């Protein structure tokens, strides 16, 4: 069982026609796009989205991404993508659950890890910048 995390967001996505393959299911690569939509919503909730990250002098590249497919989503299906913040002090780790919005059936489980990189020096940081951890702590308080 994956950790539910300290903070989460739920994002609704309706599978568009252009995301399905010739087998009438969502092509596996598009699930990463759905995770990104949920991750952006979570960062907005924290109050420190990608714009704020850049303005603070840091990029946050994904260094690890894992997906476990259980059942394929199909055209027109309404999905719920839950993003759970699991770690933020040394890296940004988010667990995801993609499920059918109506039934709650689990379709995909995923996890991403991002680390801060100083934009000026291009050096990876061994701890998350204070500006980010402070934003998380304010929301959790």
Sketch out the chain's domains with CATH numbers. Answer: 7-140 (3.10.129.10)
For residue 124, the 8-state DSSP code is: B
Please name which of 56, 62, 87, 75 lies closest in space to residue 13, comparing C-alpha atoms: 75
Q: What is the pLDDT of residue 3?
A: 64
**Percentage with pLDDT > 70 across the chain:** 97
Per-residue model confidence as pLDDT tens digits over 14-39: 999 999 999 999 999 999 999 999 99
CA neighbours within 13 Å on the CB side: how many for 26? 25
Helix and strand numbers (H, E) in the chain are 3, 7
Higher pLDDT: 2 or 68? It is: 68
Pairing of strands 117-118, 58-59: antiparallel
- pLDDT tens across 74-99, in order? 999 999 999 999 999 999 999 999 99
Q: Given this model, what pLDDT does residue 2 score? A: 61
Supply the pLDDT for residue 28. 94
């Amino acid at each position: 069982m994956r950790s539910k995390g300290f903070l989460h967001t739920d994002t609704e996505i309706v599978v568009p026609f252009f995301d399905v393959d010739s087998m009438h299911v969502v092509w596996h690569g598009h699930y990463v796009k759905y995770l990104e939509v949920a991750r952006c919503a979570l960062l907005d909730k924290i109050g420190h989205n990608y714009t704020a990250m850049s303005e603070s002098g840091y990029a946050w590249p994904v260094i690890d991404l894992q997906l476990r497919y259980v059942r394929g989503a199909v055209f027109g299906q309404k999905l719920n993508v839950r993003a759970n913040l699991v770690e933020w002090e040394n890296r940004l780790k988010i667990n995801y659950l993609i499920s059918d919005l109506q039934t709650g059936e689990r379709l995909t489980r995923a996890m991403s890890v991002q680390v801060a990189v100083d934009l000026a020096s291009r050096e990876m940081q061994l701890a998350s910048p204070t500006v980010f951890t402070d934003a998380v702590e304010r929301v959790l308080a």
